[in-house]
Amino acid sequence: MLKGKVFKYGENVDTDAIIPARYLNVSEPSELARHCMEDIDLDFVKKVNMGDIIVATTNFGCGSSREHAPIAIKASGVSCVIAKSFARIFFRNAINIGLPVLECSEAVDNTNSGDILEVDLSNGKIKNLNNGKEFTAEAYPDFMGELISAGGLIEYTKKRLEKK
């Protein structure tokens, strides 16, 4: 069960906002985390605590294919991202590296910055402890479930190659 404080953002949070290109001359997760969300929320890095949750409206993670974006979010301590919709490449990258991402419009509409959410990844249940409301995120397609339970794409690929 995940539990954390919410940082809420609007629509089209792009990958340049999540991790600006000027920091992409390194790829160490801890270095990237130091600049996470910097261009839209300068204080994010100072305020974020282990387990906190990012909530956003539509098209979260649009723009470049940089995996540095979900890596920066994960390394900053964020336990999961909940949005109404995600940009395609960001969604894939997050699943591949093991950053949980959930689509749930109702949860987004009924959550404010600073609220505390509880998330059960096993069944997609989200509970807002501030207003007591409960929501259920979109279920992952079977294939993605397999990928997640294998521990991400690298572990999944290892197993696939071993079988061959």
Partner 1 sequence: MTLIEKILAAHSDKKILSPGQFINVRVDMVLSNDITAPIAIKEFKKIGVSKVFDPAKVVMVPDHFTPNKDIAAAEQAKMVREFALDQKINYFEIGKMGIEHVILPESGLVLPGDVVVGADSHTCTYGALGAFSTGMGSTDIAAAMATGDVWMKVPPTIKFSYHGKLGKWVGGKDLILYTIGDIGVDGALYSAMEFHGQAIDEMDMDGRFTMANMAIEAGGKAGIFKVDKKTLDYIKSIAKRDYTVYEPDADASYSKVIEYDVSKIEPQVACPHLPSNTKPVSKLSNVKIDQSVIGSCTNGRLDDLRLAAAIMKGKTVNPQVRCIVIPGSQKIYLEALKEGLIETFINAGAVVSTPTCGPCLGGHMGILAAGEKCISTTNRNFVGRMGHTKSEVYLANPAVAAASAIAGYIVSPEEVK
State the residues that interact with partner 1 by CB under 8 A. 12, 14, 16-17, 20-22, 24-27, 39-40, 58-59, 62-68, 70-71, 85, 87-89, 92-93, 96-97, 141-143, 147, 152-154, 156-158, 160-161
**Tokens representing residue 114 in the block:** 């600073």
CB of 10 to partner 1, least distance (A): 12
33 vs 45, 68, 73, 134, CA distance in Å?
Answer: 8, 9, 7, 30
C-alpha 118 chain-centroid distance: 15
Nearest distance, CB of residue 158 and partner 1, angstroms: 6
Nearer to partner 1, 85 or 128 (CB): 85
The residue among 112 and 157 lying less far from partner 1, judged by its C-beta, is: 157
CB closer to partner 1 out of 66 and 127: 66
Neighbours of 86 (CB within 10 A): 23
The residue among 21 and 129 lying less far from partner 1, judged by its C-beta, is: 21
CB of 53 to partner 1, least distance (A): 22
Cβ atoms 59, 12 nearer than 8 A: yes
Other beta carbons less than 10 A from residue 13's beta carbon: 27
Longest dimension (CA), the chain: 51
| Alpha carbons 79 and 119: distance in angstroms, whole number | 9
Shortest reach from residue 121's CB to partner 1, in Å: 20
Nearest approach, Cβ of residue 8 and partner 1 (Å): 18
Q: What is the dihedral of CA 101, 147, 17, 126, to 10 degrees?
A: 10
Nearer to partner 1, 20 or 51 (CB): 20
